[in-house]
Amino acid sequence: MSKQSKYQADEKGMYGRFGGAYIPEMLYPNIENLKKVYKEIIDSPAFQQEYKALLKDYVGRPSPLYLAKRLSDKYQTNVYLKREDLNHTGAHKINNTVGQILIAKHMGKQRIIAETGAGQHGVATATACALMGLQCVVYMGEVDIKRQAPNVARMKMLGAEVKAATSGSKTLKDATNEALRDWICNPEDTFYLIGSVVGPHPYPDMVARLQAVISEEIKLQISEKTSKDYPDYVIACVGGGSNAAGSFYHFLDDEKVKLVAVEASGMGVDSGETAATIALGDMGIIHGSKTFLMQSEDGQITEPYSISAGLDYPGIGPQHAHLFDTGRAQFLSATDKEALDAALQLTQLEGIIPALESAHALAALNKMQFQKDEAVVITLSGRGDKDMATYMERFGF
Amino acid sequence: MNRLKKLFESQENICSVYYTAGYPTVNDTMPVLEALQEGGADLVEIGMPFSDPLADGPTIQASSEQALDNGMSIQLLFEQLETMRESITIPVVLMGYFNPVFKFGVEKFIGKCQEIGVDGVIIPDLPFDEYRELYENLFNEAGIANIFLITPQTSDERIRLIDAHSTGFIYVVSSASVTGAKQNVQQNQIDYFNRVNSLGLQRPRLIGFGIGNRDTFATACQHAAGAIIGSAFVKLLGEHGADKQQIKAFINTIKN
Ligand SMILES: Cc1ncc(COP(=O)(O)O)c(C=O)c1O
C-alpha cells in the first residue's frame, strides 16, 4: 500500500477535509505520545509476530471467504461472505482489541478503558484484557446496560468493571464522553482502547490498520477462488466504520474495486429516527474528529436511532467522510425492516444467522445490480447470537 | 481585550467566575452576570452549553443539559448579551466547545463577540495549530483574546509556545482532571504552579478547575494572578437560582 495514498491520513491525521485531533489540552500529551509511537510499534517485527500469532491461534484467522451459493443464485451473481462472524467473541471487533492491547503493553500502560454501545467492543476489550492480565474499565450508557444484559454479564465474567454513563442520553456517545473524561483524569497509567475508526488522530488510522487484515485476506482468498486477483465489489456496514475500513483498506487505491458502505437508516433517512450520518451530511466535530455527524441547527449532537445498537452512532469515521467526499466509496443506507428481511433471508438460504449490523450490508443486495460473472464480497462483521431477543420479538419465533 | 489587559495590569488576586448561560432558567444569563459584577467578581466566563462537554465534571454537565433543555443556544446568548455593555464594565469571556461555534460560523461568531463587547474566548477543543493557521488573524483583528489551557502534563516547550500566541491570559488547569470543586490543593500541584512561574512567561495566568472555596482560592492566588471558580458557583445557582444576595455573599466569602 503506497504511503502517499490520497485516501489515507496525512501527518496531521487529515483525510481531505476530515479528521484531525480536536481535543482539549488535557488530552494533548497522551494523543501526541500515541501519535509518535503507534506506527513504529505496529510496524515492528516484535509486534507483528505477536499480533499475527494471536490473530491465528486466538482469534481463529484467517476467517473464511465463503461463496454463498444459494444467495448467489438468487441475485444472479457471485456473493462471497467474509466470515468475521466466526472470529472469537463473534465479530471483527477482536482484531482491533488484540492489536491495541499489544500497543498498550508496549507503551507500559497498566489500565485499559473503553466505551461500548451494544457491548460487542466492550466484550472484545474485556477479552483482550483478561488475556493480558490488564485492568479493564468499560463505560456503557445506562440505557444500553439495561438493553444488553448478556454482554454486561460477559464483561463482568471476564473481569472487567462496567461503569454506567449516566449523562446526556445515556448511550454510546455518552459512554465515549465518560471514557474521555476518565482518560483526562488518568493520563499516565491509562490506555484508551477505542472501538472504531473514530476519535482523534491517530485512532482512526490505528484502528483501520488493525482491521486491515480483513482486506489483506480477501485479496489473497479471492485470487485463490476466482480467476481475478480482486473482487468487483466490497460491501460492508458502517457504524463508526471499522469493519468497512478494514474491508476497504488494501483496495483503496485499486479503483477497479467498487467500495460500498451501508449505513443504518432506522425508520428511514428523513424520519428523524435514523443513524444514516452520511445521508444527512452535516459537518462538525465529534469526539475529537472533524467529520459528518448528526446535529441540531445549534450544533448540539443529536441521538441516532437504529434497531442495531452497533450502528447507533451519531458520527462516522473521518476516512469514510473523505471516501464519500471523493466519490471513492458509494454510500447506501438500509432501514430496520430491510436489515431484518436480509437477516432472515441469509439465515434461511445459507444457514447463517448474521448480526443485525451485518444484515444492513446484506440488504445492499436488493439495492444494486450485478453482472453474472462479478465477484461481490460482503463482510459479515458478526454473528447474530447477541440479537436473538430482537429477532424473536420481530419474527415471533 | 483592553479590559482584560487593564484588569491584569491593575489587580492581583483576580476572582474569575464561570457559569453556564441559560441556567438555571433561560433568562438568568444577564441577571447572573449583573449580580456577579455587583458582588465583586473581577472577570466572568460565560459557558455556552454543549451536548457533549467532555472536559466537564457532573455539575457543569448537568447545568449544560438543563440550559439546553431551556432552549439555550449561541444565537440566543448573543441576543441576551446584545446590550450588556450598557451595564457591565468587567471583562467577559465566552467558554465552550468547538462544534457549536463551528456550526455557528467562526467568523460570524468572532464578529458578534466584537460587536457586543466580549473580551475573550476559551474553546478547549480547538487545536492550537488549527487556531494559528486559520483563526489567529481573525481573533487579533477583532481584538478578541483566545485563551489556551495548560495542564500539569504540558511540556515547558509547549507552554512557551502557547504563551507566545496568547493575547489575554493563560488558563492553568490545576490538575489532571475534569471540572469540579476539590477540597484542597496538593503539594504536587504547587510544584507545577512553581514550574510554570519559573518559565518567565509574558502572559498572566489564572488557575482553574477544583477551585471553589476561600482556601483553594487563596492558595491559587499565591501562585498566579488569580483563580477561576466554576462548579462551586454553578452548584450555588442550581440551589438558589439567580439570587442576587446569595451570589454576592458567595463572592464575598471567596474573596475575603
Ligand atoms: C457485528 C458488528 N458489526 C458492525 C459494528 C459497527 O462497527 P463498525 O462500523 O466500527 O464496524 C458493530 C459494532 O458494535 C458490530 O458489533
**A268-303 pLDDT per residue, tens:** 999 999 999 999 889 999 999 999 999 999 999 999
- CATH topology (fold) of A28-55+93-207: Rossmann fold (3.40.50)
Measured distance CA(B200)–CA(B207) in Å, rounded = 17
Q: Quick check: B177 and A184 CB within 8 A?
A: yes
Task: Let me know if B86 is a catalytic residue.
Answer: no
Q: Does B51 touch chain A (CB under 8 A)?
A: yes
Q: Does A190 touch chain B (CB under 8 A)?
A: no
> Which ligand 1 atom is nearest residue A356's CA?
1
Cβ B36 vs Cβ B234: under 8 Å: no
- Mean pLDDT (chain A, rounded): 96
Please measure the distance between the N-terminal and C-terminal CA atoms of chain B and give it in whole angstroms. 27
Q: Indicate if the pLDDT at residue A1 is higher than 50.
A: no
Q: Report, as residue numbers or ranges, the catalytic residues of A.
A: 93, 115, 381
Q: Quick check: B129 and A298 CB within 8 A?
A: no
Domains A28-55+93-207 and A60-90+212-395 share a fold: yes
Shortest CA distance from B75: residue in chain A: A298
Measured distance CA(B231)–CA(B237) in Å, rounded = 10
Nearest chain B Cα distance for residue A192, angstroms: 14
pLDDT, mean of residues A170-197: 95
To the nearest 10°, report the CA torsion of A184, A185, A190, A196.
-40
What count of Cα atoms within 13 Å lies in the side-chain half-sphere of residue B150? 28
Q: Quick check: B68 and A185 CB within 8 A?
A: no
pLDDT, mean of residues A170-183: 94
Q: Read off the pLDDT band of A3 (50, 70, 90).
A: low
Q: Read off the pLDDT band of A2 (50, 70, 90).
A: very low
In the block, cell 445492499 appears at A364
Q: Indicate if the pLDDT at residue A4 is higher than 80.
A: no
Residue A141 β-bridge partners: A165
Query: Among positive and negative, which fits the CA dihedral A350, A95, A184, B46?
Result: negative
Q: Does B161 touch chain A (CB under 8 A)?
A: no
pLDDT in tens, B33-66: 999 999 999 999 999 999 999 999 999 999 999 9
User: Is A264 strand, coil or helix?
Assistant: strand
Please measure the distance between the N-terminal and C-terminal CA atoms of chain A and give it in whole angstroms. 47
> Which ligand 1 atom is nearest residue A198's CA?
10
Out of A237, A316, A386, give the residue to mutate to test ligand 1, the one with the largest number of ligand atoms within 8 Å of its CB: A237
Does an H or E element contain B137, and which?
helix B136-142
CB-closest option in A29, A168, A298 to B52? A168
Q: For residue B127, what are the contacts with CB-CB under 8 A and spacing of at least 6?
A: A20, A21, A22, A23
> Which ligand 1 atom is nearest residue A121's CA?
14
Give the global pTM.
Answer: 0.97
Cis peptide before A29, with omega less than 30 degrees from 0?
Answer: no
Q: What is the pLDDT of residue A167?
A: 86
Measured distance CA(B133)–CA(B145) in Å, rounded = 16
pLDDT in tens, B7-27: 999 999 999 999 999 999 999
Measured distance CA(A72)–CA(A372) in Å, rounded = 9
Among the listed residues A11, A25, A157, the one whose alpha carbon sits nearest the alpha carbon of residue B54: A25
> Which ligand 1 atom is nearest residue A236's CA?
11
Which domains can be identified in chain B, with CATH numbers?
Answer: 13-255 (3.20.20.70)
Q: What is the pLDDT of residue B205?
A: 98
DSSP for B219-239, please give it. HHHHSSSEEEE-HHHHHHHHH
Residue B206 β-bridge partners: B171, B226
Q: Quick check: A23 and B73 CB within 8 A?
A: no
Q: What is the pLDDT of residue B183?
A: 80
Cβ A235 vs Cβ A201: under 8 Å: no
Cis peptide before A62, with omega less than 30 degrees from 0?
Answer: yes
Measured distance CA(A92)–CA(A89) in Å, rounded = 9
pLDDT in tens, B90-116: 999 999 999 999 999 999 999 999 999
| Domain A60-90+212-395 CATH class label | alpha beta
- What separation in Å is there between the alpha carbon of B142 and the centre of ligand 1? 46
Cis peptide before B24, with omega less than 30 degrees from 0?
Answer: yes
pLDDT in tens, B132-183: 999 999 999 999 999 999 999 999 999 999 999 999 999 999 999 999 877 8
Q: Quick check: B54 and A24 CB within 8 A?
A: yes
Q: Quick check: A288 and B125 CB within 8 A?
A: yes
Give nearest CA residue, ligand 1 atom 13: A310
Give nearest CA residue, ligand 1 atom 12: A310
Residue A289 β-bridge partners: A286
Chain B positions touching A297 (Cβ under 8 A) are 73, 103
Q: What is the pLDDT of residue A239?
A: 96
pLDDT in tens, A45-103: 999 999 999 999 999 999 999 999 999 999 999 999 999 999 999 999 999 999 999 99
Active-site position among B28, B45, B119, B163? B45
pLDDT in tens, A122-149: 999 999 999 999 999 999 999 899 888 8
Q: Where does ligand 1 bind, in terms of residues with CB under 6 Å? A: A 91, 93, 118, 120-121, 196, 237-243, 310-311, 355, 357-358, 381-382
In the block, cell 491517530 appears at A202
Q: For residue A126, what are the contacts with CB-CB under 8 A and spacing of at least 6?
A: A136, A138, A154, A155, A158, A159, A160
DSSP for A44-111, please give it. SHHHHHHHHHHIIIII-PSPPEEE-HHHHHHHTSEEEEEEGGGSGGGBTHHHHHHHHHHHHHHTT--E
Domain map (residue ranges) of chain A: 28-55+93-207, 60-90+212-395
